Chains A and B, each alone.
Chain A
Amino acid sequence: MYTEQLLKSLAIFLMAFGLLACGSAVKAPKGTIPTLDKISESANGGWLTFYDGSQEISGELIGFKEDSLFVLSNQKLLSFHQNNIQNARMVLYNTKADNYAIWTGVNSLFSLTNGMLLIFTLPINLIVGGAVTSGEYQRLNYMDFPAYSWTEFQKFSRFPQGLLDSIDRKELEF
């Protein structure tokens, strides 16, 4: 009957968007970088991850000076020669994909209060929520070296003007 047909269609939509949305977003540790809507109000650098030999280094990109880049990792300011880094990834902001997924789920539960109208509101919510969550998962919230140059990375460091001599590096560790 009608409801079953609709539920079947709904299941297909769910599977389609489930597949789209199932990819996990590229994330930095919570609190280290802002979400997209707060990026204009944040003055910290992006979250950089790379390998120095066999050791994984991750931390806030502080800035560049001459051929070196500086990373604040566990409250320690570390410097690395750019030529020693083969690949790196910097996350610029954390997406809200997880929040949107939860929001969609809560909306779906809330739609149970819609009685029979649920057959209208639930699919709309799942389709829109699936698309929004999927779209958010797929946001390019990061940049990779060498696909992007260090010059581009510098724009997203704490000090895009460079780590000038006038900046007291010791103070950065407090």
Chain B
Amino acid sequence: MFFNNISDNNFMNRGSFGFHKYKKMKLFLFWVSMVCFLISSCKTAPVRREINSTDQIQYLNPENKFMKVHMMDGSVFILNFWFLDDGKNNLSGYGELLNIQRRVVERRIRTDNRNGIVDPFTFPLDDIALVETNDPGNSLGGGLGFTTALIGGVAVLCILSPKTCFGSCPTFYAETNDTLRILAEGFSTSILPSLEKNDIDMLFEAKYKKDFQLTLTNEALETHSIRYANILCFEKEEYQKVFATPKGNFYLTENARIPKTCNSPKGGCLEEVKLMDHKEYFSESDQDNLLSKEELILDFEIEKAGNFGLVLGKRQTMMTTYLLYQGLAYMGKSVSYFLAQHELGNMEKKLGIFEMLGGVEIYFQNPNLEWQYAGEVNETGPIATDFNMVEIGNVPHGNLKIKLLMNRGLWRIDYLSLVDIYSEVKPTVVSPYAVENIHGKEKEPFSKLMDPEEFLVTYPGEKFLINYQLPFEHAELFLDSKGFYLEWIREDWIKEQNFRKLNQMVNNPSTYLKKVAKEYKRIEPVMEEAFWNSRYVY
């Protein structure tokens, strides 16, 4: 069944919701504030009104939308289109005639429709006392129009994809070199008690301190049940890095080298993948079939033979999120039934839609110039960039070609490098020594987190500080968290109940991925581009 098939996909391992760029955000707000302050502090001049005699009509600024013609008898014409008939010494125009009480007496509207031609007002220049034009200056309302459009656009995005706006999974923040950032989300695929599992996330950017602290939050409409949250600590030198393989082994590595070239179907991709800078390579999905593969080809120069591993920093696009919540939507009001059936073990396990989309497969070119399979990375979600290493093995001096095979429009690759594998290492597991309840219902969060039979249960908006005492001077840190969470199913999600589509999604995913391709394509730019751009993340 559907949910069996997602358990291996860390599809909602969300990372920072733009929190990476807190300083940039502050700077941006500062400059917006300054501009707005200058605008708001400028005293504007009163409206400019020009009073002219009739002989100046021909010199009036044509950009004036209206001209008021004050007559000798006190009446006034407010014209929005006018012209002079020099020969007859008349002024003609379309608009309104108001009497001295300023009530509209007559209205003549210019039309382009030949059948409805209306004669303009025409009057001798001698009857005119003076003409008046106004320059009202600029309206400030445009700024608010912009913010309304911005908020409205984001609201539409949130309606289309509520999950992208309302978060999910236990969220862990840690201090980095410049600010506090969200670095991991725990057990993202564990959306039922029976799917409880542990999840290991590299705290790549965390600032190492012996007195280490994580901030745990629940930022979604979910109930989180956390069995434990331990730090896996690997002693190392400053110049070394520890990476995890998809099999769960950890290796101490050195000498990260970037590719000489990176080629994709879109062209060169070296700029996107050479640094961990949130500048990513990604492609758009295939409009005819979401199940469609693409390749990246990398060239590395091996200066000295050795044992190597390929490090990938990557996350998923919104494709899996879309598919999962589309599945929930198809279940509609019967979502509880389906989930209960899953919990009772009454669902048959089949090759699922997420397994079909697959992970990032790594191949390297052996001496016979054949592509040899090295491994596959298949986890992480749409927000947090997670890091894994795939072992390539012993490679001689010279050039090394590596191929990444992955589903189009499913992956965002931020970082690729080849590292020397130094040795396999085992972690020192560090449990918390204290948990502070900053904003939450749980009175004894520490004991709940330490008791293997209990859960620390958190609700939307809650926050806890988890404190650790780390043992080494320099170390690589990973978060090992275990638990599950329950989605609060929202009304918007159940309006699309459709068992036929659900059946197709579960039992014939290859057909479903073709049928849904166009619909996903329609919102793909909204989910990916508008969302991320508006999040000022990259």
Residues in B with CB closer than 8 Å to A156 are 49
Main SS at interface, chain A: helix
- Tell me if A158 and B102 are in contact (CB < 8 A): yes
**A36 contacts chain B at the CB level, 8 A cutoff:** yes
Count of A interface residues, CB-CB < 8 Å: 65
B143 touches A1 (CB 8 A): no
A 138-174 contacts with B by CB, 8 A: 138-143, 155-156, 158-161, 164, 166-168, 171-172, 174
- B56: interface (CB < 8 Å): no
A159 to B39, CA, bound (A): 35
Q: How far is the CA of A164 from the CA of B90 in the complex (A)?
A: 22
Binds A, one of B14-22, B200-208, B415-423: B14-22
In the complex, identify which listed stretch (B110-118, B144-152, B185-193, B427-435) lies at the interface while the others stay far away: B144-152
Contact stretch, chosen from B69-77, B275-283, B374-382: B69-77
B83 within 8 A of A: no
Assess A20 versus B44: contact at CB under 8 Å? Given A13-B29, A115-B166, A132-B144: no
Within 8 A of A (CB), among B129-154: 129-130, 132-134, 136-137, 139-141, 143-144, 146-148, 150-152, 154
What's the nearest-Cβ distance from chain B to residue A37, in Å? Answer: 6
Quick check: which of B173-181, B250-258, B300-308, B391-399 contacts chain A, the rest being far away? B173-181
Judged by a CB distance under 8 angstroms, whether B436 is at the interface is no
Does A59 reach chain B (CB closer than 8 Å)? no
Chain A 1-21 residues near chain B, CB threshold 8 A: 1-2, 5-6, 9, 13, 16-17, 20-21
Judge if A51 is at the interface, Cβ distance under 8 Å: no
List the A side residues contacting B25 at CB < 8 Å: 6, 120
Residues of A close to B154: CB separation below 8 A: 111, 113-114, 117, 121
Contact mask for chain B residues 35-56; partner A; CB cutoff 8 A; 1 contact, 0 none:
1110111111111010100000
Q: Compute how far the CA of A119 lies from the CA of B21 in the bound complex, rounded to whole angstroms.
A: 12
Residues of B contacting A119 with CB < 8 Å? 17-18
Selected from B19, B29, B39, B47, the residue in CB contact (under 8 A) with A36 is: B47
A41 touching B66 in the complex, CB below 8 Å, given contacts A116-B166, A160-B51: yes
List A contacts of B98 (CB < 8 A).
Answer: 43
Chain B residue with minimal CB distance to A104? B144
**Is A40 close to B, CB under 8 A?**
yes
Q: Given A120-B536, A159-B70, A166-B73, A142 and B46 touching (CB < 8 A)?
A: yes
**Whole-angstrom distance from the CB of A89 to the nearest CB of chain B?**
12
Within the complex, which residue of A37, A121, A161 is in contact with B147, where a contact is CB–CB below 8 Å? A121
A3 to chain B, nearest CB (A): 8
| B40:A103 contact, CB within 8 angstroms | no
List chain B residues, Cβ under 8 A from A155: 49, 51, 132
Interface code B78-115, partner A: CB below 8 Å = 1, 0 otherwise?
10000000000000000000101110000000000000
A116 near B147 with CB under 8 A, answer no
Return the 10 tightest CB-CB contacts between A and B, nearest first.
A115-B165, A131-B36, A161-B129, A134-B40, A167-B74, A40-B66, A135-B40, A131-B40, A115-B166, A125-B147
The answer to the question of B299 belonging to the interface, with a C-beta cut-off of 8 Å to chain A, is: no
Across-interface contacts of B68 in A (CB, < 8 A): 40, 43
Q: With a CB–CB cut-off of 8 A, which chain A residues contact B194?
A: none
Number of B residues contacting the other chain (C-beta, 8 Å)?
76
Beyond known contacts A1-B217, A39-B136, A119-B17: 18 more, CB 8 A cutoff: A5-B22, A6-B22, A16-B33, A17-B40, A20-B37, A40-B65, A40-B134, A43-B102, A92-B47, A107-B144, A115-B166, A120-B25, A120-B534, A124-B147, A125-B151, A129-B147, A139-B44, A168-B74
A2 touches B136 (CB 8 A): no
> A70 at interface (Cβ–Cβ under 8 A)?
no
A5 to B179, CA, bound (A): 10
B36 A128 Cβ-Cβ under 8 A = yes
Q: Is B356 an interface residue (CB 8 A)?
A: no
Residues of B within 8 A of A17 (CB): 36, 40
- Given known contacts A40-B66, A120-B535, A120-B536, is B73 in contact with A2 (CB within 8 Å)? no
Which residues in A have their C-beta under 8 angstroms from that of B166? 115-116
Partner of B148, one of A2, A6, A16, A107: A107
Q: Which residues of B contact A130 (CB under 8 A)?
A: 36, 40
Inter-subunit contact B167/A116 (CB<8 Å)? yes
User: How many angstroms from the CA of A4 to the CA of B137 in the assembled complex?
Assistant: 40
Choose from B39, B64, B164 the contact partner of A40 (Cβ within 8 Å).
Answer: B64
Q: Are the CB atoms of B36 and A164 closer together than 8 Å?
A: no
Residue of B nearest to A122 (CB): B151
What is the distance, in angstroms, from B57's C-beta to the closest C-beta of chain A? Answer: 15
In the complex, which residues of chain A have a beta carbon less than 8 angstroms from the beta carbon of B51?
155, 160
Q: Does B155 contact A (CB under 8 A)?
A: yes
- Closest CB-CB distance, B58 to chain A, in whole Å? 20
- Is B215 among interface residues, defined by CB-CB distance under 8 A? yes
Q: Which of B47, B140, B164, B217 makes the CB contact (< 8 A) with A136?
A: B140
